[in-house]
Structure 1
């Protein structure tokens, strides 16, 4: 007996009804459903009695790629009604598509994304013919709003047009060849009994043709590569994740509306849609009057009549509500007139309307559902460390027990597990903080996130290491991001990276093009390499390789910088600070070439084509590393002391050799002499950069400078007495406010950047 092919659109109530009614009437021997064939041995698990929506999540990981994909099911998914109706009539149930990890689905994030979106020429022509905005409105017009009579024929005609003569890609062809072998084998085994085939409508024409001849033995299940880690688990899903407006590729937006359509029909769905929008807007203190609702209803009814709908469709109701509730001009098109995520600038009322249509339904797995090892490990560890509740958590990182708790929370943060918010604590290149504050919040999204993260490993440490390795490999060229990821690895207690990842990391640092970003990476990594007590990363091989590569590259980049003027570039100055610190603290253990670094610094300090801040920083680098200046510092200062460049050169010098300047006899006096000799005009030109330069001295050293200069100028009077301010607090506050306004004006005009 021939097969009955039911081509459907995924997540369509009309198709779901058709599938259920056809299978009930046909009572087939087999019901074959587009879905991952490796789930056939676990169909009983799928049918345990979950609260939908749920999804089959599959993760794949090998040395070359990692892939995660979902096959979501809700009550009005045709695939779900095929399984439930088939089970009710005693049919054999089979998924017949390739497993989600297979290369043919490598680009597919959601299995039940509609294929016609990839072959849009016909649907665009149909949209023009029926005067609708997009394929969603076209689908409602042709199928969801129309009577069930003749639905199968209309669907067949529609999908034949969509498929047309288009040549599918090799991935679709591989999937269709595999599904066709299942169909042929089922037909051979069923004999005179019927077979029902439920697949995406795009595949239907090809499957009808391919089922006519070929191998009739049951197909084998493809096996993943030997080095791959593959896992498939059921996860709770949500309408929010199903919604096309939130980025899901299903092609069916507004799942909450379609749930009402499935349960109650089009007239009731229109009424419930209006109620949902009204309740949501009023809950957010938006005015929605009875007059507004009457106007919206009248507009929706009129639009339905004009558009040929027996009852108001989704877009009719939405257009009616928008016309009644939004009076001003819209900066972005109405989201239901386009496809995909809402555009930036959407009106707040429109955003709330779309959210109301999405619905807030969240799936729940049956208590007997198997879960990946990571879920059990996380639940056990959260309970053991007393982190399984809600509230504020303060961790003293100086205590080993709290450090272990911190590492667990950071591992879960890296895995994007919701409900764990870090309020404060250590951060890259920040102060040496020994306290962390976290906020723990119960979240319905935690279990799905843990199940999906299970593809990275069986416990939090292994999973976080795999996730960080993947991100480091993917973003190695982004040095700012790289520094944060390496810091995350330390916070997670994952100090060592090996093999190809370490090679890629060193290669990316060695090819860096931005001196400022490279300097930040070197600063962060050096701090982690030096301070073992907090992160347990002291003398790390991974970090040592990064330090060596970054030091060499930073000096090479610095020598290539030419031109430039005020203001001083603090990022490249900080890069030379990082180089100095690396040579000082890690030079001997890591075998860094200090003589080569000194040679580069001397050349750069003497290069008149280099920017003044970099020349000053290079002079300071050589001075601080040797303990003595290679040239007379007084002469160097005099040679660069012009109003336009003096402050920038000094900023570089003070940043790298602040203590040397402060404790070298005559240096402060020389600076006082040079500044005092300036004309008023020259002083105003130099002042912003001079202020920036002297900010490198901390308050205590500024006090020393001020005291010595006051004593010099007053013949030995007390600097402290002269600096003590005899003014009312109100006057001091007014002066501070004036300083702030001046700083703001200088920053606005680009005269200072700090």
Structure 2
């Protein structure tokens, strides 16, 4: 067989993201003028290369299983993969060159059909092995029995043993080369040699391929998945060369460069054998927006770079990058109200360049620029410098894809809704406050709730501290992450629109939900305006409410249902059925309340108090006869002598706050709870339940405060020491102003006047010290009236 002609082959080994590598690839392609370009990536994306001219990086190729596995299956998290590209990615520049010059281009890595099928098979095998191990727990034979693990758990590409010192170079070949060059920092070596190289320097790719060949010679032949990847790359390369292309450029990871440059030295038969019998799945591919944050190494991305914002800056501003960087930093600092002048920038540039010379670097790198930023522009304030550095070094930005990009119908429906509602997906936190009385804003809230039903948490409800839940206002925090496109694809099995998919998902969730989950789901259906799914969910809710006899389940289910019944009219929904079900549940809670509290220990009582609080709020929302029935149940329960102290104290406080206990009756009950015949621990628990939420009642009722003080003083030392942690927990939960007011109340037990008495209040005012302020305010007011 004739030897393959590789005279027109040019292999450009790169690091996947880097401005110097990207410029070098572009320059090499301009010189080579190839008639075919091969790029490391999934061949399923070949048909998508025509869209490159319309994409705005950063973007990513997304390959996913066509059958969109269910989220609870082991294969769901393994059924997709990303290949990210930034403007400074060498592969992106190769794609742009090929499209702009109408050059044949294709991806040459192992197909995602094999990659994802292998990952799914491995995940399923591990899940089965874990299940088998749980089933056999306690029945295992002694160690050393010689039994083999399950056959389906042994995979050729399973994680290998920890590499030896000689194997370590396979993990980090750049580290080996950096050490050989006298560097102790791999990143700095690569930046100095490649990323900060000048455009007039010779092409680095022949040297990179030779260096990698030397490293590979020390580690031996490739094995496992990398061997199969390189075999497929060579098969693709051979096919392209046989098609008659004279000048072929291959852009791949530097480690693979020797294996492709020397393609003629590898056996076709061996490569075919490596690829025989690989598992395969049906896969779709598309482009999705990406972010710089997801390109950062800190995000967990294996090929990530430490500072994508810095790399983007180096690529887009090759002339005077340090000057421009520090100028941008000065602008950011001025926006924060800091005084930064042009002289700061000039001195910062000088310091950066001086540091680079002292350290023997060809140009100032990010380390030098960061030190100059801290020392000069921020005058040594590291906290201020760190804030600016993080914003610029990551340089968070989000790419965009055109409407013609292949999408599942659910993605397309969401994109149309985002455009219609003017909700732009952005890669940073953004607060959104909605007034649900306005139809346009109500639609936004409905969309966000529907997406949450589908597992797409683009918006997360934000606690504003004003108790706005259930009112006509909603507060959200929005942040779009690239993984949400995957979640949409997985959710597409439920429907082709956000509304239909969310409704189908609600019906599916309802089938296996218990009573509390069903009431929560009912509330979600109302918030998401899922009118088609709501009757089915309500039907299940009615059935479960009629058959569930667990009082704790009923109490947990009630709050969401009461909110839905009370505030349904705000969202134009009918709350009549909801109210009927809620009242039915509340009646059953009232009947079963007394038996449910019998014999509870302190921890169980604390949990039950929380349920009582929530049920009390729910009854208040329902109002009318339902609230009266609940109040009557509390009154009856409060008369029982066997109540746990924490519950008895809490119910007493509820009745007192509701005006159902006179002051004398309240003091009588407190006196009984604090009497010498009561165990101190029980008395402390009663007090904790009574004061839970607010202790201001002690500030306004000296008699109550005196009863507690008398009880504390009567305790023997050892008993006081025993209840002290409980008391600290009780009073420690109060806000600082409450604790201060209680302290002032304690100080006046001996008969001293209240601090708000008129005489005391007058003593707190220093007229001489207040005079200048009063005079200034008077002058401002007088001047304002004269101008008016």
C-alpha distance after superposition, 1:630-668 (max 9, x if no partner): xxx86x63x78xxxx85x2513665999999979xx999
Look up the match of 1:395.
436
Aligned partners of 2:18, 2:669: CA distance in 1, in Å? Answer: 83
Bigger mean CA deviation after superposition, 321-330 or 654-663: 654-663
Please state how far the C-alpha of 1:492 moved relative to its aligned partner. Answer: 2.3
- Matched residue of 1:251: which SS? coil
Matched, 1:306 2:342: no
Please state how far the C-alpha of 1:496 moved relative to its aligned partner. Answer: 7.7
Please state how far the C-alpha of 1:161 moved relative to its aligned partner. Answer: 6.4
Q: Could you tell me whether the CA contact under 8 Å between 1:53 and 1:363 is conserved in 2?
A: yes
Look up the match of 1:296.
348
Q: Could you tell me whether the CA contact under 8 Å between 2:19 and 2:88 is conserved in 1?
A: yes
Cα root mean square deviation, aligned: 6.4
Aligned partners of 1:668, 1:658: CA distance in 2, in Å? Answer: 11
Look up the match of 1:322.
374
Tell me: CA distance 1:38–1:270, structure 2 relative to 1, closer, same or farther (3 Å): same
Look up the match of 2:740.
741
- Matched residue of 1:7: which SS? strand
Look up the match of 1:436.
473
Look up the match of 1:251.
304
Q: Could you tell me whether the CA contact under 8 Å between 2:170 and 2:219 is conserved in 1?
A: no
Look up the match of 1:56.
61
Q: Could you tell me whether the CA contact under 8 Å between 2:526 and 2:564 is conserved in 1?
A: no
Map 1:685-704; keep pairs closer than 5 Å. 686=683, 689-690=686-687, 692-693=689-690
Map 1:43-442; keep pairs closer than 5 Å. 43-46=49-52, 48-60=53-65, 61-63=68-70, 64=73, 65-66=76-77, 69-87=81-99, 91-97=103-109, 98-99=111-112, 102-103=116-117, 122-124=173-175, 134-147=185-198, 148-149=201-202, 151-160=204-213, 165=219, 170-190=224-244, 193-207=246-260, 212-214=266-268, 225=281, 232-239=285-292, 241-244=294-297, 249-265=302-318, 268-326=320-378, 328=380, 347-359=383-395, 363-366=399-402, 368-369=404-405, 371-378=407-414, 393-396=434-437, 406-412=445-451, 433-437=470-474
Please state how far the C-alpha of 1:246 moved relative to its aligned partner. Answer: 6.3
Q: Could you tell me whether the CA contact under 8 Å between 1:407 and 1:492 is conserved in 2?
A: yes
Aligned partners of 2:19, 2:34: CA distance in 1, in Å? Answer: 22
Aligned partners of 2:606, 2:451: CA distance in 1, in Å? Answer: 35
C-alpha distance after superposition, 1:587-617 (max 9, x if no partner): xxxxxxxxxxxxxxxxxxxxxxxxxxxxxxx
Aligned partners of 1:557, 1:176: CA distance in 2, in Å? Answer: 67
Look up the match of 2:648.
650
Please state how far the C-alpha of 1:352 moved relative to its aligned partner. Answer: 0.7
- Matched residue of 1:32: which SS? strand
Look up the match of 1:459.
497
Aligned partners of 1:307, 1:684: CA distance in 2, in Å? Answer: 71
Map 1:325-724; keep pairs closer than 5 Å. 325-326=377-378, 328=380, 347-359=383-395, 363-366=399-402, 368-369=404-405, 371-378=407-414, 393-396=434-437, 406-412=445-451, 433-437=470-474, 453=488, 456-457=491-492, 458-462=496-500, 464=502, 488=524, 491-493=527-529, 522-524=557-559, 527=562, 562=601, 570-575=606-611, 624=633, 637=641, 646=645, 648=646, 650-651=648-649, 654=652, 672=668, 675=671, 686=683, 689-690=686-687, 692-693=689-690
Please state how far the C-alpha of 1:7 moved relative to its aligned partner. Answer: 1.5
Aligned partners of 1:385, 1:298: CA distance in 2, in Å? Answer: 49
Aligned partners of 1:650, 1:292: CA distance in 2, in Å? Answer: 68
Tell me: CA distance 1:482–1:21, structure 2 relative to 1, closer, same or farther (3 Å): farther
Aligned partners of 1:105, 1:388: CA distance in 2, in Å? Answer: 34
Please state how far the C-alpha of 1:117 moved relative to its aligned partner. Answer: 11
Aligned partners of 2:432, 2:528: CA distance in 1, in Å? Answer: 22
- Matched residue of 1:102: which SS? helix
- Long gaps (5+) in structure 2: 124-166, 426-430, 619-628, 697-702, 704-734, 746-788
Q: Could you tell me whether the CA contact under 8 Å between 1:233 and 1:451 is conserved in 2?
A: no
Aligned partners of 2:210, 2:375: CA distance in 1, in Å? Answer: 35
Tell me: CA distance 1:53–1:221, structure 2 relative to 1, closer, same or farther (3 Å): farther
Q: Could you tell me whether the CA contact under 8 Å between 1:519 and 1:576 is conserved in 2?
A: no
Aligned partners of 1:43, 1:313: CA distance in 2, in Å? Answer: 34
Please state how far the C-alpha of 1:182 moved relative to its aligned partner. Answer: 1.7
Tell me: CA distance 1:422–1:744, structure 2 relative to 1, closer, same or farther (3 Å): farther
Aligned partners of 1:207, 1:459: CA distance in 2, in Å? Answer: 46
Please state how far the C-alpha of 1:62 moved relative to its aligned partner. Answer: 0.3
Aligned partners of 1:385, 1:237: CA distance in 2, in Å? Answer: 22
Please state how far the C-alpha of 1:140 moved relative to its aligned partner. Answer: 0.4
Tell me: CA distance 1:144–1:737, structure 2 relative to 1, closer, same or farther (3 Å): closer
Aligned partners of 1:668, 1:438: CA distance in 2, in Å? Answer: 44
Q: Could you tell me whether the CA contact under 8 Å between 2:289 and 2:400 is conserved in 1?
A: yes
Query: What count of residue pairs does the alignment treat as equivalent?
Result: 604
Bigger mean CA deviation after superposition, 377-386 or 652-661: 652-661
How does the TM-score come out when normalised to structure 1?
Answer: 0.60
Q: Could you tell me whether the CA contact under 8 Å between 1:31 and 1:86 is conserved in 2?
A: yes
Look up the match of 2:135.
none
Q: Could you tell me whether the CA contact under 8 Å between 1:424 and 1:436 is conserved in 2?
A: no
Please state how far the C-alpha of 1:404 moved relative to its aligned partner. Answer: 6.6
How does the TM-score come out when normalised to structure 2?
Answer: 0.58
- Matched residue of 2:108: which SS? strand
Tell me: CA distance 1:676–1:358, structure 2 relative to 1, closer, same or farther (3 Å): closer
Bigger mean CA deviation after superposition, 130-139 or 347-356: 130-139
Matched, 1:14 2:23: no
Please state how far the C-alpha of 1:39 moved relative to its aligned partner. Answer: 1.4
C-alpha distance after superposition, 1:202-251 (max 9, x if no partner): 3334555777222699x99999757xxx6543334454554446665543
Q: Could you tell me whether the CA contact under 8 Å between 1:24 and 1:89 is conserved in 2?
A: no
C-alpha distance after superposition, 1:524-544 (max 9, x if no partner): 56657988956789789xx9x
Q: Could you tell me whether the CA contact under 8 Å between 1:33 and 1:79 is conserved in 2?
A: yes
Please state how far the C-alpha of 1:280 moved relative to its aligned partner. Answer: 1.7
